Structure 1
Amino acid sequence: MWCVPHPIHRNCVLVLLDTEGLGDVEKGDRVNDSKIFSLAVLLSSAMVYNSIGTITQDAVDKLKFVGEITELIKVRTGDIEDQEGLLSRYFPIFIWAVRDFHLELKIGKKRISADDYLENALKLKTPEKSPEEKEYNELRNRIRMYFGNRKCFVFCTPTDSNRQLKELEQLPDEKLEVDFVAQSSFFCDYIFRKAEIKKLDITVEVTGNRLGKLAELYTEAINSSNVACLEEVVVSLAEKENKIAVQEAAKLYEERMKTIPLPTETLKDFLDLSTQYEEEAREIFLKRSITDEDQKFLQEFTNSVKTIKTEFSFKNEEKSREVCHALIKKHSADFEKALAAGTFRRRGGHKYFKKILKAIEQLYDKEKGKGVKAEEVLHEYMTSKRADEITIIQKDNALTQKRKEEEVEKSRKEMEEMRNRLKQLEEEREKEKSSEEIANLRMTVEQLKQKLEEGEKIWNEKLEQVTKEKEREQDLYRMQGQNNQAKKYDAQIRTLGREKEDKGFFTRLSNNISSLFRKWF
């Protein structure tokens, strides 16, 4: 394996997988060839098959286990009538590279392209007169069925010097045959432009991490049960990937929340930062999660975020309380000493008590960095002084009895107003938190819908591409007078048409998102 930056696509890696050749005499194991070939098919988005000299019957025969590929690979579990038709949409581009090609590209006297040369090699013998001819045709039918996107390149010998052939990898281009360099450039350019990003289940891009897991899952499936089921592999990989998606996204959110200096000045400051970090975490989750059809892992992610947010919200409030209590203690220290000494229990003491209490409030209000519990802690402190105030009123001989009663009643009303204000503050906080949570949930639903639309677009483009390949194949058979073979594609083309209309998985997913939306709101 070689991994290099992709020459065309930014932020992509070109992975080159080199497998052992087919028909290795040392192994002499056809089963081994089948497994190697199947693994290469499953892991690649473009597969290059090499042969030397010309496309001979022997070179085609080395692909004879392609006819048995349904014994090693299937798309879905259960008894599916047309596994062959389904497989072609998941298979890579098939590129036949003919090395050391010395012939002219001609059929009779007519010049042809390399692609025409390959198609001519895949023509059927008609009519079939013997079991050998039937086997000859069957292999070609399978190759054409599975690999609708085919390409052929022919290469001349890179150099006439045997010595240079031994040092080929070290030779600069100017030491090689001009035609060979041009052919190689054309070949590479085709791979760079036409080989798509490898996708799992058509819509999910394969990352390096996923490629490693897929290699393990496919190899294990082929070796243990002799059948690699794409549907089962997707389910298995999705379970692993979605768990990691939840963990990574929740971890990022928690790490970001730890950077918030506590206490925040206002609840809005806290919620704005929380929303920003939740968006970052959600982006990671949605990017990594795959085929979360029931949205089980999405709900797990949102619940994790909610738990972490609640924890940090509590810490924010507690830190605010701690700061506010310290400030109250600082500004009320002399007042508390005077209160304990009975300084205010004298004539005119109530007026003096109110003046000092107001001064404490003003000093407290000027302080910065009190946080979300600033008003609440102040009200709690002022409320706690009401009993002392009533006692001071009763001891203040400057007040008439009627005035004392009025002041006590006024103090009680103020205390009740403070209690109501505290209750109002709590309700406003909960409403602000709820509004922020609803806004984030709505954003989650919108991004889910966007991801669904993007997946559906990719799906439709793939179905359209496969449909064109089937129609092209059907036309080729008709041109060659193989009407019976052409008819085999009718059902597949109709199935593709129905899938484009029904949208199966995407319809179910859309319904599940709508159900989740109703549940949340």
Structure 2
Amino acid sequence: MASLSGQAHKRNAHGELISTIKMKAPVCLIKNTVEDGKAKLVVNPEAITILSKIHQPVVVVSIVGLYRTGKSYLMNKLAGAQKGFSLGATVQSKTKGIWMWCVPHPTNTNHTLVLLDTEGLGDVEKGDSRNDVWIFSLAVLLSSALVYNSKGTIDQDAMDKLKFVWEITELIKVKTEDNEDEEAEFSSHFPIFIWAVRDFHLALNIDGKQVSEDEYLENALKLKDSVKTTKDEAYNRPRECIRMYFGKRKCFLFPFPTISEKHLQKLEEVDDNELNDNFVAQSKKFCDYIFQNAEVKGLKEVLTLTGAQLGDLATIYTEAISSSNVACMEDAVISLADKENKVAIQKAAQLYEERMKEVTLPTETLDNFLGKSQKCEAEARALFLKKSFKDKDQKFLIQFMEHLVNKKQEFIAKNEKKSREVCWAIIRKHSADFEKALPARKYMERGGYAKFKKDLKAIEDKYNKERGKGVKAEEVLQEYMKSKKDAEINILKEDNSLSQKEKDEEEAKTRKKCEEMEKKMQELEEVKQKLMVEAQNNCNEETVKKLTEKMEEERHFMAVKMEKIINDKEKERELLLQQGLERQARMFHEQIADLKKQRDTPDFGVLNPVIRPIAAGIRGFLGLFEP
């Protein structure tokens, strides 16, 4: 069982509990298994449990490459640890499947860095060649940054070993339906690409000119002008894929870490001061670059992923690849959205309930109650809109609003019940002597009617002076006064100090007063309904406003991201034209045209494109307030 070196809990601005987890050591996230003689990948429940406790945004860095190329050393450096991922010192691959290490992000507060160390590619002991492309595909799908680790130089042999780059397009689909523009969309989903070349010892010189590491990589990615043979095609294919799918690329060239064979075999036990200074400096540059440039993991429809969502995504993709050999991003998002939107409803409704429980009941007026509820609704709505995504036709938003209305009705009922309890307690306090006098027939005497009216009026005056009675103050008083009507008429009839005419007039006044009470009670109920409808209207309008703001924010985010992708492809196209590679440049030109067409559609960047029907649907909740 994996142990954690620390786990702190706090709440964010939305009242959500945030866990900051630092694992002592990595655990296996995705296991390599064999079932019925066939290779299969399965997620490790222990790792998913750890991820489920991370409610912060995650930055995910995966490293892939041939086995025994020192991948684990770089991952330990990113974790800020000497040991962690198993380095191994023999010709056998130590890392099997995909291993995970979650640590606090070194530079981004309230973010978690998730490091994924993958099984070495090309391990002769695997027995199933499909396993490599499965592992590579999952690394691409789950990462914010993908590090490809190789040894020596970037030559044709190194490129040949990157065959997985074009093979993954057979395993990864952007949409469920066949899509001619799918290749153009890959670059909007793929992570940044970092090529780490280990044990590099050549001079950075091309055609007599000193070049940078990045220029060295771009030179290695140059394409052949004319493709005449299958060999030429094989030469160009990995280069085309890297240039096409990974718009942001970076290269780091690492010298030998040490000349000591003994140190090489136990690199995790060797202090930096015993290693090559240039190697140590390059390792720091590598880590700093990733900390600064690897963004929070997101999907097209989900701007940021939490650890819990990453765990769900890992499960969905792993099961899809293992069962059907195809991982569809759209299917994964739909599956993830269904679960997350239900959780969003639950969490937001729970937040409203928690906030409302802090309100002291009874409130003095309904206006006062609705004002406090409005603030709690705003917090709950903000949390729901933050957590929800890909809410087609806004059905989950409507469910949330219905849930909120029901919860508000419950608190309205509690507020009224508490008010009635307080009011009746006050009535009982001030009417104790009066209530004893009635059954003792103390008012059944000459002049008793006037005394009865005087005592009843005194109770009313004392009651009205009391504070904190709440929303049912008037109603309870009227109920009490009305309950004394029969006693009042009986006392009136028995009072010999009054003439029959006076008795008839007083009885008429009493009955008229009761009618007025009934009318007033009806008016109070109408005022209540009007206030509640107005409050719900305001809530609905505010929801539509905040939803619109969210959609505009998403549209802007997607537009910025799309422009960056188009600009990257424009640069690639210009470079290819400068190199006289018109055929390859034309491929980029077609992709750019596809992306611009997508960008210019009316619904581009709107993750929740249905706004008018939603406004109407939300306003339809008003019927819930009818008595």
- Equivalent of 1:313 in 412, 435, 448: 412
Q: Contact between 2:398 and 2:617, CA under 8 Å: does it hold in 1?
A: no
**Alpha-carbon distance in structure 2 between the residues aligned to 1:82 and 1:280:** 40
Q: Which residue of 354, 359, 371 corresponds with 2:453?
A: 354
Whose helix fraction is larger, Structure 1's or Structure 2's?
1
- For the Cα contact (< 8 Å) 2:348–2:384, is it kept in 1? yes
Within the candidate set 599, 613, 618, 1:515 is matched to 613
> 1:458-484, CA deviations, whole angstroms, 9 ceiling, x for partnerless residues?
111110111011111111211221101
Distance of 2:294 and 2:429 partners within structure 1: 71
Most deviating of 370-379 and 23-32: 23-32
In structure 2, relative to structure 1, the CA distance for the partners of 1:237 and 1:99 (3 Å cut) is same
Aligned to 2:305: 206
1:285 and 2:384 matched:
yes
Superposition pairs for residues 396-407 of structure 1, below 5 Å? 396-407=495-506
Deviations 1:402-455 (A, max 9, x none): 333332222222222222221121122222222222222222222211211111
Question: What letter corresponds to residue 89 of structure 1 in structure 2?
Answer: S
TM-score, scaled relative to structure 2? 0.79
Q: Does 1:493 align with 2:581?
A: no
Whether contact under 8 Å (2:556, 2:605) holds in the other structure is no
- Displacement of 1:78: 1.5
Q: What amino acid maps onto 1:237 in structure 2?
A: L
- 2-structure distance, mates of 1:417, 1:182: 89
Post-superposition shift, 1:102? 0.8
Deviation at 1:357, TM superposition (A): 0.3
SS of alignment partner, residue 198 of structure 1: coil
SS state at 1:307 partner: helix
Higher mean C-alpha displacement, 400-409 vs 223-232: 400-409
Q: Distance in 1 between matches of 2:197 and 2:214?
A: 11
CA distance change for structure 1 residues 507 and 25 in 2, over 3 Å: closer, same or farther? closer
Q: Which residue of 2 aligns with 1:193?
A: 292
- Do the aligned partners of residues 202 and 401 (structure 1) sit closer, same or farther apart at CA in structure 2, a change above 3 Å counting? closer
Cα distance in 1 for residues equivalent to 2:607 and 2:214: 41
Q: CA deviation at 1:500?
A: 2.2
1:73–1:230 contact (8 Å) kept in structure 2: yes
Shifted more, 162-171 versus 46-55: the winner is 162-171
Q: Does 1:265 align with 2:364?
A: yes
Which residue of structure 1 lines up, in the alignment, with residue 396 of structure 2?
297
Q: Which moved more, 1:481-490 or 1:384-393?
A: 384-393
486-495 or 500-509: bigger deviation: 500-509
Selected match of 1:378 from 477, 480, 483: 477
CA RMSD of aligned residues (A): 1.9
Question: Would the alpha carbon gap of residues 225 and 212 (structure 1) be closer, same or farther in structure 2, given more than 3 Å must change?
Answer: same
Q: Give unpaired runs (5+ residues) of structure 2.
A: 1-99, 620-627
Matches within 5 A, 1:134-149: 134-149=233-248
Deviation per CA, 1:146-166: give whole Å up to 9, x if none.
Answer: 112211110112223333333
How far does residue 508 in structure 1 lie from its aligned partner after superposition? 7.9
Residue 167 of structure 2 corresponds to residue 68 of structure 1: yes
How many aligned residue pairs are there? 520
- Distance in 2 of aligned mates of 1:66 and 1:520: 47
Using a 3 Å threshold, how does the CA distance of structure 1 residues 205 and 167 change in structure 2: closer, same or farther? Answer: same
SS at match of 1:142: helix
Take 1:296 and 1:513, find their aligned partners in 2: how far apart are those partners? Answer: 12
Corresponding residue of 2:436: 337
Q: Which residue of 2 aligns with 1:13?
A: 112
Q: In structure 2, give the amino acid aligned to 1:272.
A: G
Q: Name the CA distance, whole Å, in 1 between partners of 2:265 and 2:583.
A: 50
**Bigger shift: residues 229-238 or 285-294:** 285-294
Give the C-alpha shift of residue 134 in structure 1. Answer: 1.7
Which residue of the partner structure matches residue 104 of structure 1?
Answer: 203
| Identical aligned residues as a percent | 56
DSSP 3-state at the match of 2:146? strand
Could you tell me which of 521, 538, 554 is aligned with 1:439? Answer: 538
Q: Distance in 2 between matches of 1:32 and 1:342?
A: 97
Matches within 5 A, 1:160-179: 160-179=259-278
1:458 is matched with which residue?
Answer: 557
State the secondary structure of the residue aligned to 2:147.
Answer: strand
Q: 2:377 and 2:387 mapped to 1: Cα distance?
A: 15
Paired with 2:270 and 2:371, the residues of 1 have a C-alpha distance of 60
Structure number with larger C-alpha Rg: 1
* Residue 139 (structure 1) shift: 2.4
More displaced 10-residue stretch of structure 1: 35-44 or 430-439: 430-439
Aligned residues of 2:430 and 2:462 also touching (Cα < 8 A): yes
SS at 1:455 equivalent: helix
SS of the residue 2:252 aligns to: strand
Q: In structure 2, how many angstroms separate the alpha carbons of the residues matched to 1:137 and 1:508?
A: 36
2:285 alignment partner AA:
F
Q: Does the 8 Å CA contact 1:202/1:462 hold for their aligned counterparts? A: no
Letter of the aligned partner of 1:285 in structure 2? Answer: F
Q: Compute the displacement of 1:289 (Å).
A: 1.2
Inter-CA distance 491–504: structure 2 relative to 1 (3 Å threshold): farther
Q: CA deviation at 1:43?
A: 0.3
Deviation at 1:366, TM superposition (A): 3.0
Distance 2:268 2:407 in 1: 56
After superposition, the C-alpha distances for 1:11-59 in whole angstroms (9 at most, x for unaligned) are 1111111111211122153311111100000000110001111112221
Q: Which position in structure 2 is the counterpart of 1:156?
A: 255
Q: Is the 8 A contact 2:554 2:607 kept in 1?
A: no
The structure-2 alpha-carbon separation of the partners of 1:506 and 1:109, relative to structure 1 and needing over 3 Å to count, comes to closer
In 2: Cα distance, 1:79 partner to 1:516 partner: 30
CA deviation after TM superposition for structure 1 residue 260, in Å: 3.6
Secondary structure at the counterpart of residue 151 of structure 1: strand
Distance 1:422 1:239, change over 3 A: same
Distance (Å, rounded) in 2 between the aligned partners of 1:303 and 1:189:
48
